[in-house]
């Protein structure tokens, strides 16, 4: 790495940037039946064109992404209309690995091993370990845990899995609980190498008018 890029000065300290987003390419797994990532090259310097030009086609629920309310709530806001304040600010990573899978694969308040200490909480489960391989037995949230976070004044919850609800749940009970609490959702994060602790989250969605989600380049900022 270029030594100029190893850290950025911030108020006299060094900020480490931890990338918690998977690489987006044609091998990235998407929800079964959804549209995988495709990139079409229209012009290329390698073939003699004067510039490179390409287009992409894929689901908006791609890799690390932010769900919009209109994904799970009739009449809900699209992602382009959401406040960016949800997606930037103090954040807590909780490491829930090492235990047995929760009943119905839904995490409850009893599974938390520490108190809530930030308004944005990311849960590390290691239950969806390979972004290129889709496993359907990943862990998700219970509506009870969503309500617990809401009472603790959490405004965003994120997971290292494809969904806050189990794969087979078409009622989207935890999505609905999040809608009722007006919280934000991040899914598809990569937290394997991230220790539990406090960080600053930066995961802005694109301003896609009316879209039900947006990919994000999710990062955690940590001061030395």
- This prediction has a pTM of 0.93
String of DSSP letters for 5-68:
GS-EEETTEEEEEEE-----STTS--STTSPPPEEEEEE-GGGT-SS-EEEEE--SS-SSEEE-
- Burial class from Cβ neighbours inside 10 Å (0-12, 13-18, 19+) for residue 105 reads buried
User: Cα separations (Å) of 182 from 45, 147, 151, 169, 177?
Assistant: 47, 11, 12, 21, 9
Tracing tokens 């489960």 back to the chain, one arrives at: 125
Low-confidence residues of the chain: pLDDT under 70: 1-12
Architecture of the domain delimited by 12-24+60-223? 3-Layer(bba) Sandwich (3.50)
Q: Is 46 exposed, middle or buried (0-12, 13-18, 19+ CB in 10 A)?
A: exposed
Predicted pLDDT of residue 223: 85
Domain edges within the chain: 12-24+60-223
**Among residues 50, 61, 65, 71, which one is catalytic?**
71
What was the pLDDT predicted at 224? 76
pLDDT digits (tens, 9 = 90+) for 81-140: 999 999 999 999 999 998 788 899 999 999 999 999 999 999 999 999 999 999 999 999
Is 71 an active-site residue?
A: yes
């Amino acid at each position: 790495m270029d030594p100029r890029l190893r850290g950025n000065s911030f108020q006299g300290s060094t900020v480490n940037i931890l990338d918690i987003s998977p690489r987006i390419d044609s091998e990235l797994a998407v929800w079964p039946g959804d549209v995988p990532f495709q990139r079409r090259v229209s012009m290329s310097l390698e073939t003699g064109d004067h510039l490179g030009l390409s287009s992409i086609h894929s689901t908006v629920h791609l890799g690390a992404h932010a769900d919009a309310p209109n994904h799970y709530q009739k009449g809900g806001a699209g992602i382009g209309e959401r406040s960016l304040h949800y997606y930037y600010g103090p954040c807590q990573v909780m490491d829930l690995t090492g235990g047995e899978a929760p009943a119905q694969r839904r995490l409850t308040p009893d599974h938390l091993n520490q108190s809530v200490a930030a308004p944005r909480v990311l849960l590390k489960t290691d239950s969806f370990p390979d972004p290129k391989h889709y496993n359907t037995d990943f862990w998700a949230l219970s509506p009870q845990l969503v309500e617990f976070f809401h009472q603790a004044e959490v405004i965003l919850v994120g997971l290292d899995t494809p969904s806050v609800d189990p794969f087979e749940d078409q009622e989207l009970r935890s999505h609905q609980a999040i809608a009722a609490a007006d919280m934000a959702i991040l899914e598809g994060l990569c937290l394997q190498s991230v220790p539990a602790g406090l960080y600053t989250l930066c995961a802005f969605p694109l301003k896609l008018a009316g879209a039900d989600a947006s990919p994000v380049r999710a990062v955690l900022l940590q001061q030395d």
